[in-house]
Amino acid sequence: MSQKVLLSSKEIQIILHRLACQLLENHLDFKDTVLIGIQPRGTYLANRLTDLLRTSYKVQGIPYGLLDITFYRDDFRRGDKTLEASNTRIDFQVEGKRVVLIDDVLYTGRSIRAALTAIQSFGRPKEIELLTLIDRRFSRHLPIQPNYRGRQVDAINKERVKVCWKENDGEDAVYLISN
């Protein structure tokens, strides 16, 4: 198994600032916008972006939540492994808001489809956008594309993309893993 660094810690920081600026350009004061991290791995990216917007760009009052999609997945009962649900924390109105769903890697699009279904339990958003750190563009099963992407990766065959976050994995890095 070989491992190639796609993004270093410094490159991730640069991308986070770029994504924060893109969100600012499109949402200005975030008055009608909410940020929602998709559990489990999208929450690290969503936390970082929310903190960056609040501290570096002085945006106050950004509604921020976490969405668990476990029971909305189309592979929920397909494997032998018992799936464990994460917490959903959405303590604000989604109805009529511009929702930005945040996840670390866009691969087949199935997790995003599940998130689109799950978010409807909280109301009908005015608009939904997608922000991902990594877009694996040649792997889609569904016609889903991100509005904001950190980096596009052409991972083929059995290559995997692994996103590491300091909070969980001890380092900030993105790797391409080949078998």
pLDDT for position 94 = 96
CA distance 116 to 128: 8
Rounded to whole angstroms, the maximal C-alpha distance in the chain is 47
* CATH code (residue 42): 3.40.50.2020
For residue 152, pLDDT over 60 is answered with: yes
Residue 134 pLDDT grade (very low, low, confident, very high; cuts 50, 70, 90): very high
pLDDT band at 137 (very low <50, low <70, confident <90, very high): confident
135 located within any domain: yes
Confidence band of 1 (pLDDT split at 50, 70, 90): confident
Evaluate whether residue 134 is within a structural domain: yes
Tell the residue number behind the tokens 């889903």, with chain if given: 144
CA 96 – CA 126 distance, rounded (Å): 4
Residue 80 domain-assigned (yes or no): no
The number of residues in the chain equals 179
Indicate the angle between helix axes 9-27 and 42-55, nearest 10 degrees: 70
Report the number of distinct structural domains present in the chain: 1
Q: pLDDT band for position 26 (50/70/90)?
A: very high
Tokens at residue 64, please? 């921020």
* pLDDT score for 112: 97
Tens digits of residue pLDDT in 35-58: 999 999 999 999 999 999 999 999
Within-domain flag for 171: no
Q: What are phi and psi of 134, to 5 degrees?
A: -125, 130
Q: What angle do CA 118, 94, 92 make, to 5 degrees?
A: 110
Q: What is the pLDDT of residues 109-126, one digit of tens each?
A: 999 999 999 999 999 999
Structural domain span for residue 32:
7-71+93-158
Q: Look at residues 59, 61, 78 and name the one whose alpha carbon lies nearest to residue 70.
A: 78
Place of tokens 């490159």: 11
Q: Quick check: is 84 in a domain?
A: no
Beginning with the edge strand found earlier in the chain, give each strand of the sheet holding 98-106 in spatial order. Answer: 64-67, 33-38, 98-106, 127-136, 148-153
The whole-angstrom separation of Cα 164 and Cα 9 is 10
pLDDT (tens digit per residue) in 59-105: 999 999 999 998 887 765 556 666 677 889 999 999 999 999 999 99
pTM over 0.85: yes
Residues 58, 146, 52: CA angle, nearest 5 degrees: 15
β-pair partners for 161? 176
Residue with tokens 């995997």: 160
- Look at residue 8 and tell me whether its pLDDT is greater than 80: yes
What is the average pLDDT value for the chain, to the nearest integer?
A: 93
